[in-house]
Structure 1
Amino acid sequence: MDLKKLTLMPHGLEVLLPEGASLTELERGTSQRVIPFGCQSGACGACMIEVLDGLDSLGEMDPDEVDFLEDLGRTDGPYRLACQCRLMDAATVRVAEEQ
């Protein structure tokens, strides 16, 4: 199994997840609740993250995620819904601040 590193800022917490794992696996990989996963289906926006490094490492966005981010006004930067991401390589993220 090939493990990939996800770094969660501002805590500097590093978690290793299997390649292709959903970021919701963080809830099993650490006792700290760093990303507030709500619905886990991309419908609530609670888990919006800002990707600081490795945007291409989180898999492709599907049209529903793109539409939801547009509805939230978050198409102008490196934003993703963590519950929709698959960790393909190392990445660094932080929970996005509310607008």
Structure 2
Amino acid sequence: MTLKKLTILPTGTEVLLPAGSPLTEVEYEIPQRLIPFGCRSGSCGACVIEVLEGFDSLGDPDHDELDFLEDLGRTGGDHRLACQCRLRGDATVRVADDT
């Protein structure tokens, strides 16, 4: 089993997950709730993350995710819904702020 590393800022917490794991697995690996997962279906926007490194390591966003991110004002290509991502390589993310 190949493990991939997800680094979550600002804490710098590193989580190792099997390649292809959904990011929702993070909440089972660490006691802190660093990514606020809500609905887990890509419709609430609670888990918007900014991808700082390894955007391609999270899989390709589908059309619905891109549309929803646009509705949330998160355009520009560096935001994702964490619940829709699968870790395929090392990545660094932080939860998007509300500003």
TM-score by structure 2 length? Answer: 0.97
Identity %: 68
SS of the aligned residue for 1:37 comes to coil
* Structure 1 position 72, deviation (Å): 0.7
TM-score by structure 1 length? Answer: 0.97
SS of the aligned residue for 2:7 comes to strand
* Structure 1 position 77, deviation (Å): 4.0
Gaps in structure 2 of 5+ consecutive residues: none
SS of the aligned residue for 1:15 comes to strand
CA distance in 1, matches of 2:73, 2:35: 20
Whether 1:23 and 2:23 are equivalent positions in the alignment is yes
Match of 1:84 in 2: 84
Residue type of the alignment partner of 1:71: D
Match of 1:48 in 2: 48
CA distance in 1, matches of 2:51, 2:82: 10
CA distance in 2, matches of 1:51, 1:42: 17
SS of the aligned residue for 1:6 comes to strand
CA distance in 1, matches of 2:84, 2:77: 17
Residue type of the alignment partner of 1:37: F
* Structure 1 position 75, deviation (Å): 1.2
SS of the aligned residue for 2:74 comes to coil
CA distance in 2, matches of 1:22, 1:34: 15
Match of 1:73 in 2: 73
Count of residue pairs the alignment pairs up: 99
RMSD of Structure 2 on Structure 1 (CA): 0.7
Gaps in structure 1 of 5+ consecutive residues: none
Segments of 4+ moved more than 3 angstroms: none
